[in-house]
Amino acid sequence: MVGIKDVARAAGLSVATVSRALNGQSAVSDGARAKVLSAAETLGYRPNVVARSLRTDRTRTIGLVISDVLNPYFTELARSVEEEARALGYSVIIGNADERADLEGHHVRSLMERRIDGLLVSPADGRSPTTLDAVSGPTPVVFVDRWIPGSDAPVVRSEGRGAIRDLVAHLYGLGHRRLAVITGPAATTTGRERVEAFRAALSEFGLSLSDSHVGSGDFQAESGRLATEAFLDLPERPDAVFANDNLMALGALDAIRDRGLRVPDDIALAAFDDIPWFPHTAPPITAIAQPTAELGRVAVRALAGLIAGEPATSTVLPAHLVVRRSCGEPDPSSPTGGATRE
Amino acid sequence: MVGIKDVARAAGLSVATVSRALNGQSAVSDGARAKVLSAAETLGYRPNVVARSLRTDRTRTIGLVISDVLNPYFTELARSVEEEARALGYSVIIGNADERADLEGHHVRSLMERRIDGLLVSPADGRSPTTLDAVSGPTPVVFVDRWIPGSDAPVVRSEGRGAIRDLVAHLYGLGHRRLAVITGPAATTTGRERVEAFRAALSEFGLSLSDSHVGSGDFQAESGRLATEAFLDLPERPDAVFANDNLMALGALDAIRDRGLRVPDDIALAAFDDIPWFPHTAPPITAIAQPTAELGRVAVRALAGLIAGEPATSTVLPAHLVVRRSCGEPDPSSPTGGATRE
């Protein structure tokens, strides 16, 4: 069994310095830390983190609770969180809430009990008592993408209001008047905001959103399919459907294809969240692109700052509309506002 | 601060029973366990798992190290692992190796140090010393999807050889003779096996695989793009490309579109891994479907068995070909073998 003394001997440093370096304390030069890590790696030294974490404060690990590991938006977020964390010397362990409030609470509690240095969370439930409890505890917490209104933790998120207005203008310009939306859960900030922004933009164009044109989804594919089937069963089906995330758009595509209908000829479709598959679908899907990777990086830096005792900083980054062909062929001479065209 | 005595009082049970229930020991009835968990939840009782895990053996947590959190195949696998684990009373924490051998070692080490009851791993590197070390240690390990040849741990995986032969027969029947492949890393079992099975199937049809028709990928999208660009630069470009996972197929689609070419008219494309976007791409992508969710469930049951002291069981489940339109319009009267047609 390799011990800390062996590592100290191999690194040519004192046991105290090796201990400080392995515990992630700052009173160690970068050069010494590199020597220690290299010696520990070569010798296969495996400290007992569980025992060690009772003695020191730092684990150099952060927790990330995402809402749905099947959602490409969240997996891209998770990857950028990991890349930035690694660059700052942290490792990341991930819990998946699967859009369920009880699982969110479970993962937050479980990660906190494992002594992480900080937590990034995108709440599946905007009122989770466990998550609120975590925010008021000693471990730093940063919300990313979604948040719990009224809580103290900093929030790193994107703002889609302007892009949603651009989308409604685009749909209106193509002659669509009966517009429908598939929402995320009302318990999430993003779920509420996207439908509210859509409703506000419609009213700017003199349109209203009838109840039968609001489908309640849960940000997962099956709910998008069910909501779309209900729209297609209406006596007057909508001209266009706005799915409030990429997986509900997938469910909508499934439902439309199963009826033998075509996008955009029979019904137009747009999505919140842009993903790499959308340029390749038939037709390519018009979508609102979030700065996902940037959100992950900024959230990790905010959390690392909190861990280091710096003040909390919230950040809002803008989303933007990417026009493709799923709502109809746009007039090439029309202004795009903040949108890009592919 | 709520203590274990408060939970015992609320549940109407002895402290010893509550302690056994919270430590996941089996000598507690399901009814008692349910009472304890309900009382603990109501009171907001938060045991210190770190301290507790020094006293008892069980954490009711398993670790899952996947190769790439951005790959829809692995996220579907992760979700089925979580669902089955939850049904058996375990929670899951996930580490993402991002197809890097060093990160795989890091996550395996880090999860082992956090005292998990067992580990599921899909190795990014078929020779990882850290993972081999874990297999020979006291914590149960099960390989899922990929494995390390010659190691003792049970393997739960799918077998694609028959489906790859069906794919080559399908391509051959459509008149394609110059066939190319984008491989995964040679350090992975799946990377090696898919290209070997493809080569063997080609030779059955009297075809050979020239070196210029083998693109080295890493199971991530960018490598698929680069390999496809190299194919398109050849004096005689291939008739068809077989991308050995879904993300490399995405990269291939990007490269083909950027050249202004069309699938399948200019070049045919097929993928290993079927994902929910493939029926919606232009054209829909012919793919080899793995029983991904079933793999995750079987792997969790094998791991739970090992944890309970049962003997190790390996499982191989067959993959099958799903014919769509990305290799050409198939003759509707031709036999499909084990393939399905959409």
pLDDT tens-digit profile of B282-324? 999 999 999 999 999 999 999 999 999 999 889 999 999 999 9
Q: Is the pLDDT score of A25 beyond 60?
A: no
DSSP A150-161: T-SS-EEEEE-H
Tokens 């970068």: give the residue.
A30
Chain A contact set for B92 (CB, 8 A):
95-96
Residues of chain A positioned with their CB less than 8 A from the CB of B60: none
Top residue of A38, A104, A277 to mutate, by most chain B CBs within 10 Å, is A277
Q: How far is CA A2 from CA A32, A308, B106, B115, B138, in A?
A: 19, 31, 18, 19, 17
Q: Count interface pairs A-B at CB distance under 8 A.
A: 131
**Residues from chain B contacting residue A79 (CB–CB below 8 Å):** 69-70, 96, 98
Alpha carbon separation from A254 to A70, A238, B284 (Å, rounded):
17, 17, 13
Q: How far is CA B200 from CA B145, B196, B207, B269, in A?
A: 21, 6, 9, 19
Compute the distance between CA of residue A94 and CA of residue A120 in angstroms, rounded to an integer: 10
Q: What is the pLDDT of residue B16?
A: 75
Collapsing DSSP to helix, strand or coil, A242 comes out as strand
Are the beta carbons of A51 and B53 separated by less than 8 Å?
no
Nearest to A113 by CA among A95, A98, A97: A95
Nearest CB to B280; choose among A76, A79, A282: A282
* B281 → chain A, closest CA residue: A281
Of A48, A69, A283, the CB nearest to B75: A69
Task: List CB contacts (< 8 A) between B106 and chain A.
Answer: 91
Lowest pLDDT segment from A2-11, B90-99, B263-272: A2-11
Interface probe for A, chosen from B59, B93, B106 (most Cβ of A below 10 Å), is B93
* Tokens at B11, concatenated: 């549940």
pLDDT in tens, A250-305: 999 999 999 999 999 999 999 999 999 999 999 999 999 999 999 999 999 999 99
Q: What is the mean predicted confidence (pLDDT) over A184-190?
A: 93
| pLDDT-above-90 percentage for chain B | 66
Q: Dump pLDDT digits (tens) for B24-60.
A: 555 677 777 777 777 776 776 655 444 444 435 678 9
Residue B128, phi-psi category: left (phi > 0), alpha (psi -120 to 50), beta (remainder):
beta
Express as a percent the part of chain A with pLDDT over 90: 66
Instruction: Report the share of chain A in percent with pLDDT over 70.
Output: 90
Residue in A with minimal Cα distance to B114: A50
Q: How confident is the model at residue B11 (pLDDT cuts 50, 70, 90)?
A: confident
Give the residue-averaged pLDDT of A308-327. Answer: 95
Q: Write the residue in B86, B93, B281 that is nearest to A282 by C-beta.
A: B281
Does position B122 have pLDDT exceeding 50, yes or no?
Answer: yes
Q: Examine the pLDDT at A171 and tell me if it is beyond 50.
A: yes
- pLDDT at residue A312 greater than cutoff 90: no
- Work out the pLDDT band at A54, boundaries 50, 70, 90: very low
Q: Looking at residue B57, what is its pLDDT? A: 63
CA closest to A280 among chain B residues:
B281
Return the minimum-mean-pLDDT range out of A156-170, B104-118, B206-220, B292-306: B104-118
Residue of chain A whose Cα is closest to the Cα of B282: A282
Give the β-pairing of A240-243 and B61-66: unpaired
Contact A79 B98 (CB under 8 A): yes
Q: Is the pLDDT of residue A340 over 90?
A: no
| A51 pLDDT higher than 70 | no
pLDDT, residue A321, reads 98
Confidence of residue A1 (pLDDT cuts 50, 70, 90): low
Q: Which residue has the higher pLDDT, A326 or B97?
A: A326
Q: Indicate the residue type of B211.
A: D
Q: Which residues in B lie closer than 8 A to residue A53 (C-beta atoms)? A: 50
Q: B-chain residues within 8 Å CB-CB of A280?
A: 250, 253-254, 257, 277, 281-282
Separation in Å, CA of A226 to nearest CA in chain B = 16
Provide, as residue numbers in chain B, all residues whose Cβ is less than 8 Å from the Cβ of A115. 50
Q: What is the pLDDT of residue B8?
A: 82
Average pLDDT, chain B: 89
pLDDT of residue B40: 72
Average pLDDT estimate for B243-269: 97
Interface contact A70-B48, CB threshold 8 A: no
What is the predicted pLDDT for the residue at B129? Answer: 87
Amino acid in position B14? S
Q: Which residues in B lie closer than 8 A to residue A112 (C-beta atoms)?
A: 46
The pLDDT of residue B15: 75
Chain B residue with CA closest to A65: the answer is: B93
Return the pLDDT at A176. Answer: 98
Search chain A and give the residue with CA nearest B76.
A70
Q: Is the pLDDT of residue A24 over 70?
A: no
Strand partners, B328: B326
Helix B30-43 vs helix B15-22: crossing angle, to nearest 10: 90
Q: How far is A115 from chain B (nearest CA, A)?
A: 7
Q: What is the ipTM of this complex?
A: 0.77
**Chain-centre distance for alpha carbon A14:** 43
CA distance readout (Å), A174 to A114, A155, A193, A332, B271: 54, 36, 25, 12, 36
Interface touch B281/A276, C-beta < 8 Å: no
Partner-chain residue, chosen from A103, A113, A250, that has the shortest CB–CB distance to B48: A113
What span, in angstroms and rounded, lies between the C-alpha atoms of B323 and A246? 25
The per-residue pLDDT for A15 is: 75
What tens digit of pLDDT does each residue of A109-148 get?
988 887 799 999 999 887 888 999 999 899 999 999 999 9
| Structure tokens given for A34 | 């590199």
Minimum distance, in Å, between the CA of residue B243 and any CA atom of chain A: 16
Are B96 and A91 a contacting pair at CB < 8 A? no
- Helix, strand or coil, per DSSP, at residue A197: helix
Q: How far is A69 from chain B (nearest CA, A)?
A: 6
User: Which two structure tokens, joined as six digits, stand for A48?
Assistant: 């007992």
Domains of chain B and CATH, by start: 4-47 (1.10.260.40), 60-157+292-317 (3.40.50.2300), 159-291+321-341 (3.40.50.2300)
Nearest CA in chain A to B252: A280
Give the residue-averaged pLDDT of A219-245: 97
Residues of A in contact with B113 (CB under 8 A): 46-50
Chain centre distance of CA A95: 13
